[in-house]
Structure 1
Amino acid sequence: MMTSRLPTVLITGATSGFGRAAARRFGEMGYALILTGRRQERLAELADELSQHCAVYTYSLDVRDSEAVVDMVQQLPQEFRNIEILINNAGLALGAGVAHQSSLDDWHTMINTNITGLVNVTHSLLPILLEQPKSTIINLASIASNWCYPGAHVYGASKAFVAQFSRNLRSDYAGTPLRITSLEPGLSESEFSLVRFGGDQDKYNQIYNGTNPLQPEDIADIMLWIAEQPSHININSIEVMPTSQAWDNFKVVKS
């Protein structure tokens, strides 16, 4: 295993989408990586791929389980304990139908992952981050944090929590070396959308046909840029869309 002189990055949800792209981007730059996710086989594959570039530690983790999060932090090897960058990426959307036809279980899963999971990890890592001379939290929110659209009910509300939580954390730690960013992507092509539609490839294809969506690598590049800003700069939030997407006119329903 290689050692790294660059900061240590902890990435949740590193087994797909933005998280996996971030692991590759930071890893290729030589950052030490702590990669978490629920699919151990994918974590192992990433570790094999990236260990030639950097030090990698993986931990199978469900962020919704607060005790498991605490255990993970307590079990970190000494060489990975000085975490300077936290990327709260674990999250999901389930369903896109009208609210009263949606699954209550899906609603609870989104709340427990997008809100509770993010809070669990952040609370456990704050003491470590605050010990560092420069530290960064990047919280993956969404354009749904700021803009409403049909079918976004609980998903959008959960991401609005992420954006507001980021701002409130920044208020708590003004004047400290801890920076907090809400990163808010728009239309992005990844496994995220396939999960949202329950694995329905046709629905997935309909979303992206004729568009040029953001790719996970685009978001990973932005994460790296945020993390590498000089220590006196805090990027409060970034809302990013592909050029094939923009704000829609307010909807008017005629009777």
Structure 2
Amino acid sequence: MTKHILITGASSGIGKQLAIKLSQQGYTLSLCGRQQKKLNNTLEQLDDRVKIYSETFCLSELDSLTKFVKHAQKKLGPIDILVNCAGLNSSRAPASDPDWKQLQHMLDINYFAPLRLIHAVLPSMRERSRGIILNVLSTTCLFANPNTAQYSASKAALDMHTKVLRKELNGSGIKVLSLYPGGVNTDFRAADRQEYLQAEDVAEAALSMLFTSDNSHIHELIIRPEIEMNY
């Protein structure tokens, strides 16, 4: 049976590259993104032989998020793999003077939305005693950098939640994976950084985590560009 994979942030960057690669391998996909034009560009690059369901909305919209999961499962069946790929870094405010509005927005996108999605797909995974949850985090969870406090905190919250969830689901047949990319050259950044990882590099790393034997479980994987020394 072809696995049904749900990917957030599929309209650009890592999520887009992962969707393209998975479609080439014949997987059934449910995709969401914030901008219809960008998501359409992703859809145009997918293998037209695979089943696809997509919706456009902001992950901070709780009703839209819940309906998306419901519609996806009704149309394409239970979700076998959830990839929480969408992320947001909307402020460089210093730790001593937070941008409260943007901090809340980053928590909504980087922490609460992935939790809502996990909560929505877990019942079916528990019933079938199988499933995979992959959270795309950041190496900012692993070191401190000036002017990244708010983004780092939102990602670190998901990081710790993921670690606890992994232990709680141990022995259930459900794998919980953490991927920590370093600097990635995507639309996420204002300036082009060719010396950083490309989105395709991180997508390949995600694939290496997702498709292992039933008896192996890659809990955590860190991928950095060669130039990065934050370790």
1:138, distance to aligned residue in structure 2 (A): 0.6
Percent of paired sites with the same residue: 26
Task: Determine if contact 1:190/1:216 at 8 Å carries over to the other structure.
Answer: yes
* Among 88, 94, 101, the residue aligned to 2:90: 94
Task: Determine if contact 1:13/1:36 at 8 Å carries over to the other structure.
Answer: yes
1:218 aligns with 2:201: yes
Report the TM-score when normalising by structure 2: 0.92
Q: Which residue of 1 aligns with 2:155?
A: 159
* Among 107, 121, 141, the residue aligned to 1:145: 141
Farther off after superposition, 42-51 or 32-41: 42-51
Q: Which residue of 1 aligns with 2:212?
A: 229
1:192 aligns with 2:188: yes
1:74 aligns with 2:57: no
1:78, distance to aligned residue in structure 2 (A): 3.9
Farther off after superposition, 68-77 or 30-39: 68-77
Q: Which residue of 2 aligns with 1:129?
A: 125
1:65, distance to aligned residue in structure 2 (A): 2.1
Residues 171-211 of structure 1: CA deviation (Å, up to 9, x unaligned): 111101110111111011001122xxxxxxxxx24xx3xx6
Residues 52-91 of structure 1: CA deviation (Å, up to 9, x unaligned): 2421111123222222222122223645122111000111
Residues 99-140 of structure 1: CA deviation (Å, up to 9, x unaligned): 355532221211111011111111111112323453111101
Gap change, CA 1:161 and 1:223, over 3 Å in 2: same
1:241 partner amino acid: R
Q: Distance in 1 between matches of 2:133 and 2:14?
A: 15
Report the TM-score when normalising by structure 1: 0.84
Q: Distance in 2 between matches of 1:132 and 1:40?
A: 33
Q: Which residue of 2 aligns with 1:199?
A: none
* Among 60, 64, 74, the residue aligned to 2:60: 64
* Among 116, 119, 123, the residue aligned to 2:115: 119
Task: Pick the structure with greater CA Rg.
Answer: 1
Residues 127-176 of structure 1: CA deviation (Å, up to 9, x unaligned): 12323453111101100111110011111111111211111111111101
- Unaligned runs of 5+ residues in structure 1 are 195-203, 249-255
Farther off after superposition, 168-177 or 46-55: 46-55
Task: Determine if contact 2:80/2:131 at 8 Å carries over to the other structure.
Answer: yes
Task: Determine if contact 2:178/2:221 at 8 Å carries over to the other structure.
Answer: yes
Residues 10-55 of structure 1: CA deviation (Å, up to 9, x unaligned): 0011111111111111111111110011212322332232142421
Q: Distance in 1 between matches of 2:73 and 2:110?
A: 27
Cα RMSD (Å):
1.8
Q: Distance in 2 between matches of 1:146 and 1:63?
A: 25
Q: Distance in 2 between matches of 1:51 and 1:77?
A: 21
The runs of 4+ residues in structure 1 deviating greater than 4 Å are: none
2:195 partner amino acid: N
1:37 aligns with 2:40: no
What number of residue pairs does the alignment pair up? 231
Q: Distance in 2 between matches of 1:63 and 1:56?
A: 19
1:245, distance to aligned residue in structure 2 (A): 0.8
